[in-house]
Amino acid sequence: MTLRLTLTAAVVLLMANPSHAQFNYDEAKVPKFTLPDPLVTSAGEKVISAEQWAKQRRPEILELFESQVYGRSPAAPKGLVVKQTDIDTKALGGKATRKQVTVYLTGENDGPQMSILIYIPNNRSGPAPVFLGLNFLGNHAVHADPAIHITKSWTRNDPKRGYVDNKATEKSRGAASSRWAVDMIVDRGYAIATIYYGDIDPDFHDGFKNGIHPHFYVGKQTEPKADEWGSIAAWSWGLSRALDYFQQDDDIDHKHVAVIGHSRLGKTSLWAGAGDPRFAMVISNNSGCGGAALSRRAFGETVKRINTSFPHWFCGNYKKYNDKEDDCPVDQHMLIALIAPRPVYIASAHEDRWADPRGEFLSGLYADPVYRLLGTDGIGADKMPEIDKPVQNTIGYHIRTGKHDVTDFDWTQYLKFADKHFRKASR
Ligand code: GTR
């Protein structure tokens, strides 16, 4: 009976996306592997102090992720150019201030730009801590508020939801609102800021001709080198530019920014938080392969599959590890370790087997020794918690009922996690 039910569930899940059916979903078929130890240097030396981690091992791991996985990104442009295009101090029925701010990504006011939508709670005693995340469908899709500017950037077509001729239309307002608990966040005293990821780099492979990349080519360069940024790194770089802006907005507490993302944008929030220590908290929602999930498990989506379906996401060098995960000098637990000792939350969904929930949990577990070396309580669990039973220490984790998505259950946990870590700070 139990077996029959399990098999039925597995078939239903695979039918949800038939192209995923040929991949491994059998725990017994996960290959045997040895993970690189985050606390042993490339020269084989054991890391025994926080200082040795900060000065030697962390930079070593960061450089490996830059050169082998996501690609190196350029430095921030000199002098941030921003333009506030909207302010309403009585937004969301009077409880929030809405701002829309254009950030010019090359520091020139005729260059590429991204628009940040921000809701700041009016009921607050000082600058507001903020959740910052990229969105998939345009800022206007996160809430039905008619004053949000409709993105003018390229979008994927989806006529049913109001995306036609690669442009967003009025019909698409609020199309993603179930994933953005804007009112709940504001009611709890947090600001929420979001940017359409397509403002930074449209999400299709065109050999890096559009988006931000060409603006940083040197000389006759026509595409990034094998160790230079792919799209995930570019999106992450855009998140850091939003943080640059927060540093000059007195309504935002830029020392308490939680960077959040779902799926490919969860991979992006992890890389943003790993590379930019100004992010005080990092949240990965169902980030899967190339995000929180351990690549060596090859459970669900694999390195080869992701590099084939999405050749623009990672750097050229990452393709060396197609079907050769063991050859990669890093695995994704080391990405989590790069965030230490800052709080990180990894969230999985039970039906999201493509993203390998167990592999996502194990990354947190295997990053735990680094978190402990740095004086925190780490993950505080030695096995995967039950469904819908979050564990929240300096590393947070949950696997919730349901599919690949961002739900109010997820946001409820993130708000609790932020209260725990941000409110205890002297604010
Ligand atoms: C899938 C991809 C995943 C995940 C997802 C998403 O097609 O295989 O890695 O990123 O897209 O971003 O929704």
The pLDDT tens digits for 342-366 are 999 999 999 999 999 999 999 999 9
Q: Give the mean pLDDT of 268-272.
A: 99
Atom number in ligand 1 closest to CA 286:
4
- What percent of the chain shows pLDDT beyond 90? 93
Q: Are 286 and 349 in contact (CB under 8 A)?
A: yes
Of all protein residues, the one whose alpha carbon is nearest to atom 10 of ligand 1 is 264
Q: Is the pLDDT of residue 424 over 90?
A: no
List, by residue number, the catalytic residues: 263, 404
As a whole number of angstroms, the distance between CA 234 and CA 198 comes to 11
Write the pLDDT tens digit of every residue in 155-177.
999 999 999 999 999 999 999 99
Q: Give the mean pLDDT of 236-242.
A: 98
Bridge-based pairing state of the strands 81-91 and 128-135: unpaired
Provide the pLDDT confidence category of residue 5 given band limits of 50, 70 and 90.
Answer: very low
Contacts of residue 3, Cβ cutoff 8 Å, sequence gap at least 6: none
As a whole number of angstroms, the distance between CA 187 and CA 207 comes to 43
Instruction: For residue 259, give both structure tokens.
Output: 């960077």
Residues in the chain: 427
Phi-psi category of residue 380: left, alpha or beta, with phi > 0 → left and psi -120 to 50 → alpha: left
Q: What Å distances lie between residue 50 and 281, 338, 341, 375, CA to CA? A: 19, 13, 10, 8
As a whole number of angstroms, the distance between CA 56 and CA 103 comes to 35
**Distance between Cα 197 and ligand 1 center (Å):** 14
DSSP code at position 13: H
| pLDDT at residue 4 in the model | 47
Neighbours of 25 (CB within 10 A): 15
Write the pLDDT tens digit of every residue in 101-155.
999 999 998 899 999 999 999 999 999 999 999 999 999 999 999 999 999 999 9
Report all structural domains of the chain as residue ranges with CATH numbers, in order of start: 35-421 (3.40.50.1820)
Q: What Å distances lie between residue 1 and 12, 350, 379, CA to CA? A: 17, 20, 35
**Distance between Cα 263 and ligand 1 center (Å):** 6
Atom number in ligand 1 closest to CA 262:
12
Q: Is the preceding omega at residue 127 within 30 degrees of 0, hence cis?
A: no
Nearest Cα neighbor of 131 from 181, 184, 191 is 191
Q: Of the residues 204, 304, 352, 354, which should be mutated to test ligand 1's pocket, given the most ligand atoms within 8 Å of the CB? A: 354
| pLDDT at residue 423 in the model | 87
pTM score of the predicted model: 0.96
Neighbours of 68 (CB within 10 A): 20
Write the pLDDT tens digit of every residue in 273-324.
999 999 999 999 999 999 999 999 999 999 999 999 999 999 999 999 999 9
Instruction: For residue 39, give both structure tokens.
Output: 């606390």
Of all protein residues, the one whose alpha carbon is nearest to atom 12 of ligand 1 is 264
Instruction: For residue 309, give both structure tokens.
Output: 């379906």
Atom number in ligand 1 closest to CA 265:
12
Q: Of the residues 260, 264, 307, which should be mutated to test ligand 1's pocket, given the most ligand atoms within 8 Å of the CB? A: 264
Atom number in ligand 1 closest to CA 404:
13
Q: Are 77 and 106 in contact (CB under 8 A)?
A: yes
φ and ψ at 336, to 5 degrees? -65, -40
**Distance between Cα 128 and ligand 1 center (Å):** 32
Residues near ligand 1 with C-beta < 6 Å? 263-264, 288-289, 301, 306
Q: Is the pLDDT of residue 12 over 80?
A: no
The average confidence (pLDDT) of the chain is 95
**Distance between Cα 293 and ligand 1 center (Å):** 12
Sign of CA dihedral 250, 82, 211, 147: positive
As a whole number of angstroms, the distance between CA 260 and CA 267 comes to 10
**Distance between Cα 150 and ligand 1 center (Å):** 24
DSSP 345-408: EEEEETT-GGG-HHHHHHHHHHHHHHHHHTTS-TT--SSPPPTT--EESSEEEEEESSSSS--H
| pLDDT at residue 18 in the model | 77
As a whole number of angstroms, the distance between CA 38 and CA 96 comes to 43
